[in-house]
Chains A and B, each alone.
Chain A
Amino acid sequence: MVEVAVSRTTLPVGSEAHHASGWWGMLTVIATEATLFAYLLFSYFYIASHAQGAWPPHGMPKLSLAIPCTILLVAGSYTMWWAERGIERGKPVQLMIGIALSLALGLAFMALEGMEWAGEPFHLTTGVYSSLFFTITGFHLAHVAVGLLVLAVLFLWTALGYFDANRHSAVSIGVLYWHFITIVWLAVFFTFYIAPRL
């Protein structure tokens, strides 16, 4: 081996913000997951467009819980954005507060959504509408559950002192996923609660 030179440019080493391969990986995960929800909503609209009789068959879905649900998730996205900004400026405490707030908002969403499920006059097997409703909102709920697990793990890692202003790509990747869950909810909310009213 003959050492010829030292590169004139200095390069970052390892997982650094958007240089991390995981950041790119998460973008592709979101692409494929967004497609999954697109196919779910396609199925809904396809079946709705062929429906005989009234659609939705059980009357207009009530907004009394769905709107608070939406507000909770959007607020949870905001708190995570604020949390990420904290660690970008080297403030792990702000990160931990932000994650804790988002966790609480996410859990509240799951509780409200659970009440919504319990209050429906139909079951999974009642008809095709109920099958679609529980499956699509169920897919989203499962994503929220995974998102909350991600947040909990990020909280633990922050508490262990793993992150600082230079090294926090895991946080950026988790935040990206969390925003995605919010955006998917907006699409689900529009499909079930707004579209039939238009």
Chain B
Amino acid sequence: MSDVETFRAPIIARATDQSQSSHILKRSWEGPGGIAGWLSTVDHKEIGKRYLITAFLFLIIGGLEAAIMRAQLAQPNEHLLTPEQYAQLFTMHGVTMIFLYALPVLSGFSNYLWPLLLGSRDMAFPRLNALSYWVFLFSGIFLYVSFSLGSAPDDGWFNYVPYSARAFNPGINIDVYALGMVLLGISTTVGAINFIVTLLRLRAPGMSINRVPILIWGTLTASVGNLFAVPAVSLAFFMLWMDRQFGTHFFDASAGGQPLLWQHLFWMFGHPWVYAIVLPAMGIVSDGLPTFCRRPLVGYTPVALATVSTMALGFGVWVHHMFATGLPIMAVSYFSAASMIIVIPSSVAVFSWIATIWTGRPVFTSAFLFFAGFVLLFVIGGVSGFMTAAVPVDLQLTQTYFIVAHLHYVLIGINVFPVVGGIFYWFPKFTGRLMNETLGKWTFWVMFIGFNVGFFPMHILGLAGMPRRIYTYAEGLGWGPLNLIVTLGSYLFAIGVLLFVVNVFVSLKRGQRAGDNPWDGASLEWSTSSPPPVYNFAVIPTVASRYPLWEGRLNQGDDRSSTQQGFLLDKGRETIGTTSLDAEPDVILKMPSNTYAPLLLGVALAVLFIGALLHSWWLLGAAVVVSLLASIAWLWPERALSQIET
């Protein structure tokens, strides 16, 4: 009866991209070309690139918003913007950078790199990966549609009640934000699920849990964090929307509701989220820096543990965003202490990076400069964070430009610098060409100087009492000169970002050809072609250490990884599933082909939220039905996936 194989002893072969078997693999893994292929692809490399490009577009949009605000603040008593326009700009700037750039750009790296770092042919759920991208894209567009109508979210990115309640904010501004965030939460959650299951299941044989690159630890930790944190914010926004549209009373003090509940739910999510948008970036540095220091990372195990413990502690510090709300002193003291303890894992990582540079033989490439610059900015941002973890200091500094300075040192320093460095590092793998090094070094110095000139004076402005989120300020306060310097510095930083974009476009066309491993890196992605073939690896690699491509010179143990010889798995789209801790071969996984189901489901979900926004219940109902049908079609058991036998 059974004509689908249920068990197989897989063939172990020696093969390269030129082998006959690789042509067969290429045929199996290649989807249709043209627009059909573009819309139906489930290839993690395509999805990763889309994430990177879309997130960078949002970075540029958010940067332009900041540039307009800095023009307004360059001098006292400017009238370029009205207060209402300014409120929308600073809100959309925050929303864009924190939600539409910072995590998605890291998802881009991880989507592209994870299977290559892990020695797999795709992510655990390729179709879910496509869904995650489409929903991210649609929620970004959703959040921006009202911007063009002049009624964008305007209550800051943390959207405190009661100002975001309907009585004080009757337009659709806040409803767009509320529903857009719930939609984006779906994308984040399914993305996180994909990373977690991929880590547990899809590592190359031999890549036990203590051999995975630190980027994997970073993204894994971020994903587990998101799995537990995102529901808080989705729920908070849903309850706010209910309060605004259906007259519930969750945050309505006059009917027994609790405005502070909003802040609790928001920051129970918000603080883990902050770590979710930096830990993978720190992972980029922990993997990239050793390549340019010509030695393994100092302290792999402490750095991996520091990554995980930072997130674990990160779930217990949310009240440090709420020190000024009048909570009992006993409660805030606990959260103050917990926040200070985070210094320990952070310092472990910092000393590991410094020791890696110190004891290595650094090669001063553009990527190295960005990684090393990041370490300094991380320390500055960490010190200002430590300062505001102390309750009395925070009471003085909260809602001032000191906080603006701190969060930009943390987010630009720990996210943007590693991301740009990471692009310099992996661009040859993505495209087969190197980026221009001379321009790259100029880019670094322009960005680094511009950033510090632009953002360091904000500390002083905050200490001088300048509140954040004011659209202008009076002349006699003495804030004018520093604000002018801030504006000029941030424009210099923007020029640096522009140089980087120019470098990307020029190098795409004229960059020097890169071989498989231009930096002589140690991890598995450098063992395959640049750019990688659609099937990633001609054979599934077998891993014997943390640095599979450096084993010859490191001389640690006798076992050798093998990238040329391993499981062939050429019967359609297949990859190997391994056990969670030891990565022993466990199952031959059948991987899905190109499909429109994720796009269809993504569109239906977007329409569902549009229906909710417009109170168009028939549209919402139709979208629910289409979503359910698309899900059923998606999950329909297939023989090709060996889900049914007959």
Question: What residues of chain A have their CB less than 8 Å away from a CB belonging to chain B?
Answer: 1-16, 19, 21, 24-25, 28-29, 31-33, 35-36, 39-40, 43, 46-47, 50-52, 57, 124-125, 127-129, 131-132, 135, 149, 153, 157, 161-164, 166-167, 169-170
Contacts and interface: CB of A to CB of B under 8 A. Distances in A.
Given A12-B7, A12-B587, A36-B235, 14 more contacts: A3-B12, A3-B568, A9-B9, A11-B10, A14-B588, A21-B197, A21-B201, A21-B577, A31-B228, A32-B231, A46-B258, A47-B257, A125-B249, A164-B646
Closest 7 CB pairs of A and B: A14-B642, A131-B248, A36-B231, A125-B247, A1-B21, A1-B19, A128-B256
B341 interface: no
B613 interface: no
A14 B643 CA distance: 6
23 contacts: A1-B21, A1-B22, A3-B568, A4-B13, A5-B12, A9-B9, A10-B7, A10-B8, A11-B7, A11-B10, A11-B585, A13-B5, A13-B587, A13-B588, A14-B6, A14-B587, A14-B588, A15-B643, A29-B193, A33-B231, A153-B635, A163-B644, A166-B645
Contact of A24 (B200, B234, B239, B588): B200
A162 B637 contact: yes
Interface centre among B20, B128, B646 (most CB of A within 10 A): B646
Contacts of A128: 248-250, 252, 255-257
A77 B646 CA distance: 29
B246 A124 contact: yes
B565 interface: yes
B469 interface: no
B589 interface: yes
Given A14-B6, A29-B193, A32-B227, A47 B256 contact: yes
Given A11-B9, A127-B249, A135-B239, A35 B585 contact: no
A40 B197 contact: no
A31 B646 CA distance: 33
Interface stretch (B260-268, B318-326, B429-437): B260-268
A35 B228 contact: yes
B632 A153 contact: yes
Contacts of B231: 32-33, 35-36, 39
Contacts of B200: 24
Nearest to B15: A1
B567 interface: yes
A161 B189 CA distance: 33
B258 A25 contact: no
Contact of A28 (B2, B13, B14, B193): B193
Interface in B211-268: 227-228, 230-232, 234-235, 239, 242, 246-250, 252, 255-258, 261, 264-265, 268
B6 A43 contact: no
B230 A32 contact: yes
Contacts of B585: 7, 9, 11
B565 A15 contact: no
Interface of B: 2, 4-15, 19-22, 124-125, 128, 189, 192-193, 196-197, 200-201, 227-228, 230-232, 234-235, 239, 242, 246-250, 252, 255-258, 261, 264-265, 268, 538, 565, 567-568, 577, 585-590, 628, 632, 635, 637, 641-646
Contacts of B5: 13
B255 A127 contact: yes
B261 A135 contact: no
Given A4-B565, A32-B193, A35-B231, A43 B124 contact: no
Contact of A1 (B14, B249, B567, B643): B14
B8 A11 contact: yes
B264 A46 contact: yes
B586 A11 contact: yes
Given A1-B21, A131-B250, A170 B196 contact: no
B6 A13 contact: yes
B272 to A, nearest CB: 11
Contact of B124 (A19, A21, A39, A52): A21
Contact of B235 (A31, A40, A124, A157): A40
B573 to A, nearest CB: 11
A172 to B, nearest CB: 12
Contacts of A4: 12-14, 565
B585 to A, nearest CB: 6
A50 B636 CA distance: 48
Nearest to B234: A36
Nearest to A166: B6
Nearest to A6: B9
Contacts of A32: 189, 192-193, 227-228, 230-231
A163 B645 CA distance: 8
A52 B256 CA distance: 7
A47 B590 CA distance: 49
Contacts of A169: 643
A36 B247 CA distance: 22
Nearest to B249: A128
B268 A39 contact: yes
A163 B646 CA distance: 9
A135 B20 CA distance: 60
Contacts of B256: 47, 51-52, 57, 127-129
B258 A149 contact: no
B77 to A, nearest CB: 43
A20 to B, nearest CB: 8
Nearest to A165: B645
Contacts of A39: 231-232, 235, 265, 268
Given A21-B589, A149-B628, A2 B6 contact: no
Interface centre among A9, A11, A164 (most CB of B within 10 A): A11
Given A1-B20, A13-B642, A7 B9 contact: yes
Contacts of B587: 11-14, 16, 19
Given A14-B589, A125-B249, A167 B644 contact: yes
Interface centre among A2, A15, A52, A131 (most CB of B within 10 A): A131
B249 to A, nearest CB: 4
Contact of B242 (A25, A29, A135): A135
Nearest to A17: B587
B247 A124 contact: yes
A9 B637 CA distance: 27
Contacts of A166: 2, 6, 645
B422 to A, nearest CB: 26
Nearest to B567: A7
B12 A19 contact: no
A197 to B, nearest CB: 21
Contacts of A13: 5-8, 587-588, 590, 642
A79 to B, nearest CB: 22
A59 B399 CA distance: 43
Contact of A15 (B14, B264, B265, B641): B641
B26 to A, nearest CB: 13
B239 to A, nearest CB: 7
B120 to A, nearest CB: 12
A24 B201 contact: yes
Contact of B250 (A29, A43, A161): A43
B15 A125 contact: no
B242 A14 contact: no
A138 B628 CA distance: 19
